[in-house]
Amino acid sequence: MTSQRVLNGRYELGELLGRGGMADVYKGVDTVLGRTVAVKLLRADLARDPQFHARFKREAQAVAALNHSSIVAIYDTGEYTVSGGPGEDVRVPYIVMEYVSGRTVRDLIRAKELDIDQAIEFILGVLAALEYSHKAGIVHRDIKPANVMVTGESNDVKVMDFGIARAMADSAATMTQTQAVVGTAQYLSPEQALGETVDARSDLYSAACLLFEMLTSRPPFTGDSPVSVAYQHVREIPEPASTFNPAVSEALDSVLAKGLQKNRADRFQDAAAFRRALRAAKNGVAVPALAAGTPTDVTEAVPLTQPIPEGGLARGLVGAEFLDSTLSGGPENGQAAGGQDMLAREAAETEAEHDSAMPLGFAPERERTARQKSRRRAWTAVVVILVLLVLAGGGFWVYSTVNQKPTPPR
């Protein structure tokens, strides 16, 4: 192995495990401790962005303090120098992580190897990790199947990439037209889609999306573009999971209905409450439906009195890995520590709408109330669509037209 393949004289890089828009992940060896590790090397173009560089280091240091059996451990961080062109050296940050031998939940979903009991057990593991991280003041922001590993023999759950989505969201590089556009659309919370401050309840919404997909082999919302999927997260009520998998119980449907509420004040308020509801659902105990007249619109969400500091994706639909591959058709497949790397992928196949289905967990009066509010908020939907189009690159024409100066009168 050449010296170029050893980082800071300590970490030997071996086989490439995965390649994404954000980073490359290698299997490596810590030559000091003699243990196998996974090493994530950030893209050089992102490393040039000083805001990303600083945010990445702060987030990595914060996440390194998380010590939980369901969280992929971070062992070390550092930087190494690469040539960025004639006379230019770039300091590229890297993360040394626990190497996990196993498969991602995305692999298991695609292989249709999950049953209902396994799906519940895996999401309980994810929620245990989130409960721990939220108590430490860290919000994941990118919970999705590709970021959850299941170990080979013991089937233990390992959640990956805490804090990385935040670093990407705050990077100036991600705000350019040619760079990343959105966080992974199928798992966005409504507040993420609207660019609002993100707190722990956003992770719980994404976890509910993950559970829905494990139970049905499809996310709660699909569409022919990330924009259409994000719009549905904000405005549409998902079909019950039992529509796609009749084996899903009414009690489990009720848990998902609670977890997928548009208004975060109507969701589970912490991961522990979500876990208790899941355990009760296994015994046939349903979550009570919200009372008629309860606000359901995300635009009426009760503001947090103590939001997570420097909250989340406040500049719009920007996340960790919905990168320029969305627009340019770049690579989609990759592996993370022992499995698949967190990667963006286009929204799944378009599904027919089911207009006749009763929104799960709602009384009929509530459904009518929600529809009336939706009509009164038509202007909000228009604004949301315009914002999404601008962030997706497709709204450039709209943006230019709106900001075009009027021709002076002759």
**112-134 residue pLDDT tens:** 999 999 999 999 999 999 999 99
Q: Is residue 86 part of a domain?
A: yes
Burial environment of residue 243 by CB neighbours within 10 A (0 to 12, 13 to 18, 19 or more): middle
- Provide the CATH number for the domain around residue 60: 3.30.200.20
Q: Is residue 137 part of a domain?
A: yes
Q: Which residues of 310-329 are buried (b: 16+ CB within 10 A; e: fewer)?
A: ebbbbebbbbbbbbbbbbee
The reply to whether 107 and 256 lie within a common domain is yes
Q: Which two tokens stand for residue 7?
A: 């980082």
The reply to whether 66 and 132 lie within a common domain is no
The reply to whether 221 and 166 lie within a common domain is yes
The reply to whether 94 and 134 lie within a common domain is no
Q: What is the DSSP string of 33-90?
A: TTEEEEEEEE-HHHHT-HHHHHHHHHHHHHHHT---TTBPPEEEEEEEEEEEETTEEE
23-30 vs 102-104, strand pairing mode? unpaired
pTM of the model: 0.71
pLDDT score for 21: 65
The reply to whether 80 and 144 lie within a common domain is no
- Provide the CATH number for the domain around residue 191: 1.10.510.10
35-42 vs 74-85, strand pairing mode? unpaired
The reply to whether 36 and 111 lie within a common domain is no
pLDDT score for 99: 95
Q: Is residue 359 part of a domain?
A: no
Of 126, 122, 120, the residue nearest 143 (C-alpha): 126
- Give every residue of the chain whose pLDDT is below 70, as ranges: 1-4, 21, 84-85, 163-183, 291-410
Q: Which of 76, 142, 170, 199 is catalytic?
A: 142
pLDDT score for 164: 66
The reply to whether 87 and 116 lie within a common domain is no
Of 224, 223, 190, 225, the residue nearest 204 (C-alpha): 190
pLDDT score for 284: 95
3-state secondary structure of 347: coil
Q: What is the DSSP string of 92-146?
A: EEEEEEE---EEEHHHHHHTT---HHHHHHHHHHHHHHHHHHHHTT---S---GG
Sign of CA dihedral 124, 308, 259, 108: negative
The reply to whether 70 and 150 lie within a common domain is no
Of 28, 118, 115, 116, the residue nearest 75 (C-alpha): 28
d(CA 84, CA 101): 34
Of 64, 67, 203, 201, the residue nearest 123 (C-alpha): 203
Domain boundary pick from 99, 124, 141: 99
The reply to whether 125 and 90 lie within a common domain is no
Of 22, 371, 9, the residue nearest 168 (C-alpha): 22
Q: Which amino acid is at 241?
A: A
Residue owning tokens 């600083």: 54
74-85 vs 157-159, strand pairing mode? unpaired
Task: Show the DSSP H helices in 240-377 as ranges.
Answer: 250-259, 271-282, 325-328, 364-376
pLDDT score for 287: 94
Based on the residue annotation, tell me whether 89 is a catalytic residue of this protein. Answer: no
Count how many domains the chain has: 2
Domain boundary pick from 258, 291, 324: 291
The reply to whether 122 and 270 lie within a common domain is yes
The reply to whether 12 and 25 lie within a common domain is yes
The reply to whether 18 and 42 lie within a common domain is yes
Q: Is residue 50 part of a domain?
A: yes
Residue 203 belongs to domain spanning: 100-172+181-291
